[in-house]
Amino acid sequence: MDTRLIEARDVSAGYRERIVWRGANFSFGKGEFVAVIGPNGAGKTTLFRMLLGLQPPQGGSLTVLGEPPKRGNARIGYVPQRHTIDSDTNVECLELVRLGLSGKSWGFNPFSHDDRDAACAALKGVDALELAHRPLGVLSGGELQRIFLAEALVSDPDILLLDEPLSNLDLKRETDLLHLVNGVVRKRGVTALLIAHNINPLLPHLDKVMYIANGKVATGKPSEVLTSESLTALYGVQVEVLRDPHGNVAIIGVEEHHGDMV
């Protein structure tokens, strides 16, 4: 694939006093599904904040859709990491999804049918049309993630950034959500970056994987990155990558769950 939506050349990330990772080179094309994996504090969310234009790179050149990242880029859909939504929030899901489209517009126009139709279409796209009139506060974790996904997709973005959408989901819901995201990526040709802790449930869907650890970044096809050599080079300690007959990987030498060092 030739159209490079995201391109990084020798990029450093973090703050001036504290660089979290440096020397990263990667590029992602249209319709690629990328997992971003790494321990807590490695700088995964920092990557998203840079792509969103909320934080500048500390070095190197980073382009998003051919230009430097800018805040409020309408062609990026974003699902931030969230822990809670107040259970008292008695606002229907449709309203939040609609705001994903028209929340930037000043003025008062609560009856726009175009907005409403677009929001319903976005909800339908994530199999959540039946949740349209449910209040946000009573949704389960998996339902909420689908609503947030619809909110991000309603403006028809080219790039989708998902920050730990799988946390707080059980194994079944995790699989369901990944199938859904994968379907969206394939059908719309959107480039999706998804931050996660565990690579295994993602492996059947991924085009690329990005490992961030130890102040460094390794990016490539899963078969290239998920090798003993490449992860040993990344972490700086001896790491073994083992595979089972189903294609699952076990990474020995690094505590797999959080990717922390042991």
Partner 1 sequence: MTLCPTTAFSPNVLSDLQNISCYEFMRTAYEAGTMIAIIAGITGYFVVLRRSAFVAHAFSEIGFAGASGAILLDSAYFPPIAGLLLGSILGGLAIAVLGRRAANRDTQIGIILAFALGLGLLFISLYKAFATAAISILFGEIVGISPGEVTLTFEASALIIVVMAFLYRPLLFASLDEDVAEAKGMPMVFLGTAFMLVVAVAVSFAVQVTGVLLIFSLMVTPAAAAQYVSRRPSRSIAFSVAVAVVATWVGLFVAFYTPYPVSFFITAINFSLYIAVRLVRRGLKAKPIERASVKQVPRAPTVPT
Q: How far is the CB of 80 from partner 1 (least distance, A)?
A: 4
Q: Which of 42, 62, 96, 190 binds partner 1 (CB under 8 A)?
A: 96
For partner 1 (CB under 8 A), the number of binding residues is 60
Pick the closest to residue 134 from 148, 147, 121 (CA basis).
147
Q: Which helix (H) or strand (E) element contains residue 162?
A: strand 159-163
67 binds partner 1 (CB under 8 A): no
Q: HSE on the CB side for 170, CA within 13 Å?
A: 2
Token pair, residue 233, equals 């080079």
Q: Which is nearer to partner 1, 139 or 226 (CB)?
A: 139
User: Could you give the string, one character per residue 120-139, with x where binding to partner 1 holds by CB under 8 A and - elsewhere?
Assistant: -------------xxxxxxx
Q: How many CB atoms lie within 10 A of CB 232?
A: 16
Token pair, residue 238, equals 């001896």
Q: Which is nearer to partner 1, 22 or 202 (CB)?
A: 202
* Segment near partner 1 (CB under 8 A); pick from 10-18, 23-31, 98-106, 177-185: 98-106
Q: What's the CA gap between 59 and 153, in Å, rounded?
A: 31
Q: What's the CA gap between 206 and 7, in Å, rounded?
A: 18
Q: Which of 56, 66, 91, 186 binds partner 1 (CB under 8 A)?
A: 91
108 binds partner 1 (CB under 8 A): yes
168 binds partner 1 (CB under 8 A): yes
Q: How far is the CB of 2 from partner 1 (least distance, A)?
A: 28
Q: Which of 84, 113, 223, 262 binds partner 1 (CB under 8 A)?
A: 84
Pick the closest to residue 161 from 220, 221, 210 (CA basis).
210
Q: What's the CA gap between 176 and 186, in Å, rounded?
A: 15
Coil, helix or strand at residue 187? helix
Sequence-ordered list of residues with C-beta below 8 angstroms from that of 214, at least 6 positions apart, any chain: 234, 235, 236
82 binds partner 1 (CB under 8 A): yes
Q: Which of 61, 68, 75, 104 binds partner 1 (CB under 8 A)?
A: 104
Q: How far is the CB of 29 from partner 1 (least distance, A)?
A: 23
Q: What's the CA gap between 33 and 251, in Å, rounded?
A: 22
* Of residues 228-257, those binding partner 1 (CB under 8 A): 244, 246, 248, 250, 256-257
Binding site for partner 1 (CB under 8 A): 52-54, 70-74, 76, 78-80, 82-92, 95-96, 99-100, 102-110, 133-141, 144, 151-152, 168-171, 198, 200, 244, 246, 248, 250, 256-257
